[in-house]
């Protein structure tokens, strides 16, 4: 078995574990456990809390004391046990704590998975820039396959999705220990704890341009959290009048169009960056969120299913255009001495603070438009669309950045 195939399998399983429950867990909590919007959103917000500190802490362990592939394996084995326990829980306080613990051990594995892939490829003499992306794309395939498996098995509102995730996490946890050793590399200079956690990059907030960028990264991280938590519950609520429609019977399959769109828009990013520049691509992302939410407000699984499909397609631009152009912006603007820390700060603002605040705010909106257990999804989605529209109006007014094509060309070509 070639090392590339082994890494493909590892990346496939890494995101299969997540895809088995991330999109459909909201439907399970709403329909089966009868949680409120605020409770559902707060459970999703646990990933934001975990992303604030756990990737950095476990990164230190992998850098200094333990092989990265072993840290990866241990995290998934612990996560498998926690997901199995979560399947037995029906009350909100206990499930919240267990899912928080699960997030604390899963979220760091995304970075650890990349680290193991990089080290193994480098040891085997492969070109990381050339060979890793075709391997990593299988992670997205794994995410989609997990969504389809749960959907076609009719487990979107069942605890079975947690069994699927736990089983795959157990397999990956054991499999990770069989990967080539990724031993810690002795540091040439002693790094402080704050440096290892990426906190050095907070100095960038002294620059107005960077402060504005990170602030909007947080706001758009909140938008992503809205999609993760409430897309499938929204589709499930059409079961009363549209029970036999494709969107209600297979919400995960419909939602997987978003992930397929994501892979296609990634390929289009170099063209858009060269043609329009980073600032305009970021703005396109913000207005794509407006359409993502607004189309949900207009759509239904019957006569206007096309609006739901268009919303799924729009997701690819909404998600990828800001994340990737934002990463390139940091690569270009941050001092080389704190560039890695700056990328870490970007993740903290989007997947950490943004996800946490998005969970709190979106839960309040859903509960506000819920009367006697009935959710007014039209007003809910239009509220979210209004939020994104406000960001789109303010962003170009406060974010001052001039497009320099020749400099960007080099970043796109080599980044």
- Same domain (yes/no): 207, 160: no
Cα separation, 288 vs 81, whole angstroms: 38
Residue 311 confidence (pLDDT): 94
- Residue 41 located in a structural domain: yes
Residue 288 confidence (pLDDT): 94
- Same domain (yes/no): 374, 297: yes
Note the pLDDT tens digit of each residue in 347-403. Answer: 788 877 888 888 788 888 988 998 888 889 999 999 999 999 999 999 999 887 775
Average pLDDT over residues 173-202: 71
Residue 415 clears pLDDT 60, i.e. is over it: no
Structural domain boundaries enclosing 146: 1-183
- Residue 189 located in a structural domain: no
Note the pLDDT tens digit of each residue in 209-266. Answer: 888 988 998 898 888 878 777 887 888 888 777 888 888 888 888 888 888 888 788 7
Residue 346 confidence (pLDDT): 79
Average pLDDT over residues 52-68: 76
- Same domain (yes/no): 303, 174: no
- Residue 212 located in a structural domain: yes
**Of 131, 148, 183, at which residue does a domain stop?**
183
Residue 353 confidence (pLDDT): 84
- Same domain (yes/no): 336, 232: yes
Note the pLDDT tens digit of each residue in 77-91. Answer: 999 999 999 999 999
Cα separation, 290 vs 232, whole angstroms: 19
Higher pLDDT, 3 or 85: 85
- Residue 109 located in a structural domain: yes
- Same domain (yes/no): 394, 313: yes
Which residue's structure tokens are 């796109």?
412
- Same domain (yes/no): 247, 385: yes
- Residue 188 located in a structural domain: no
Task: Give the range among 148-162, 239-253, 304-318 with minimum mean pLDDT.
Answer: 239-253
String of DSSP letters for 267-332? HHHHHHHHHH-HHHHHHHHHHHHHHHHHHHHH--SSTTHHHHHHHHHHHHHHHHHHHHHHHHHHHH
How many domains are there within the chain? 2
Backbone angles phi, psi at 188, to 5 degrees: -75, -25
Average pLDDT over residues 335-358: 75
- Same domain (yes/no): 143, 202: no
Residue 54 clears pLDDT 70, i.e. is over it: yes
- Same domain (yes/no): 261, 118: no
- Residue 387 located in a structural domain: yes
Residue 193 confidence (pLDDT): 59
Q: Which of 354, 40, 414 is nearest to 217 (CA)?
A: 354
Q: 0.85 cut: is pTM over it?
A: no
- Same domain (yes/no): 244, 313: yes
- Same domain (yes/no): 153, 234: no
Residue 169 confidence (pLDDT): 95
3-state helix, strand, coil in the chain (%, to 5): 80, 0, 20
Q: What CATH number has the domain bearing residue 176?
A: 1.20.1250.20
How high does pLDDT run on average in the chain? 83
With bands split at pLDDT 50, 70 and 90, how would you rate the model's confidence at 22?
confident
The tokens describing 132, both together, are 């890793």
Note the pLDDT tens digit of each residue in 256-310. Answer: 888 888 878 877 877 888 888 888 888 999 999 999 999 999 988 888 899 999 9
């Amino acid at each position: 078995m070639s090392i590339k195939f082994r890494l493909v399998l590892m990346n496939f399983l890494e995101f299969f574990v997540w895809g088995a429950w991330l999109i459909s867990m909201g439907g399970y909590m709403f329909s089966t456990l009868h949680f409120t919007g605020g409770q559902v959103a707060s459970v999703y917000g646990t990933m934001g809390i975990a992303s604030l500190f756990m990737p950095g802490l476990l990164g230190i362990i992998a850098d200094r004391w333990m092989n990265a592939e072993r840290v990866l394996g241990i995290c998934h084995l612990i996560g498998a046990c926690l997901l199995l326990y979560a399947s037995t829980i029906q009350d909100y306080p206990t499930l919240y704590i267990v899912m928080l613990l699960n997030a604390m051990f899963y979220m760091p594995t995304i970075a650890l998975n990349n680290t193991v892939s990089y080290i193994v490829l480098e040891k085997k003499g492969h070109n990381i820039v050339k060979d890793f992306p075709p391997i990593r794309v299988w992670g997205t395939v794994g995410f989609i396959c997990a969504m389809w498996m749960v959907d076609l098995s009719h487990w979107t509102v069942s605890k079975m999705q947690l069994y699927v995730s736990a089983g795959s996490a157990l397999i990956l946890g054991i499999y990770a220990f069989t990967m080539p050793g990724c031993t810690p590399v002795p540091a040439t200079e002693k790094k402080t704890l704050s440096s290892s956690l990426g906190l050095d990059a907070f100095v960038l907030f002294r620059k107005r341009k960077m402060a504005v960028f990170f602030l909007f990264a947080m706001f758009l991280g909140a938008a992503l959290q809205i999609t993760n938590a409430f897309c499938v519950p929204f589709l499930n609520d059409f079961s009363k009048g549209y029970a036999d429609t494709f969107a209600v019977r297979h919400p995960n399959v419909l939602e997987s169009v978003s992930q397929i769109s994501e892979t296609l828009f990634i390929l289009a990013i170099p063209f858009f960056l060269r043609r329009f520049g980073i600032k305009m691509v970021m703005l396109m992302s913000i207005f794509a969120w407006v359409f993502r939410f607004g189309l949900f407000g207009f759509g239904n699984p019957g006569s206007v299913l096309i609006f739901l499909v268009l919303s799924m397609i729009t997701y690819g631009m909404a998600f990828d255009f800001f994340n990737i152009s934002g990463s390139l912006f940091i690569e270009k603007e941050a001092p080389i001495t704190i560039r890695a820390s700056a990328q870490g700060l970007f993740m903290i603002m989007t997947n950490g603070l943004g996800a946490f605040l998005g969970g709190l705010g979106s839960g309040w909106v859903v509960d506000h438009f819920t009367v006697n257990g009935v959710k007014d999804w039209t007003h809910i989605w239009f509220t979210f669309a209004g939020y994104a529209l406000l960001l789109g109006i303010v962003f170009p007014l406060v974010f001052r950045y001039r497009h320099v094509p020749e400099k960007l060309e080099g970043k796109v070509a080599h980044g």
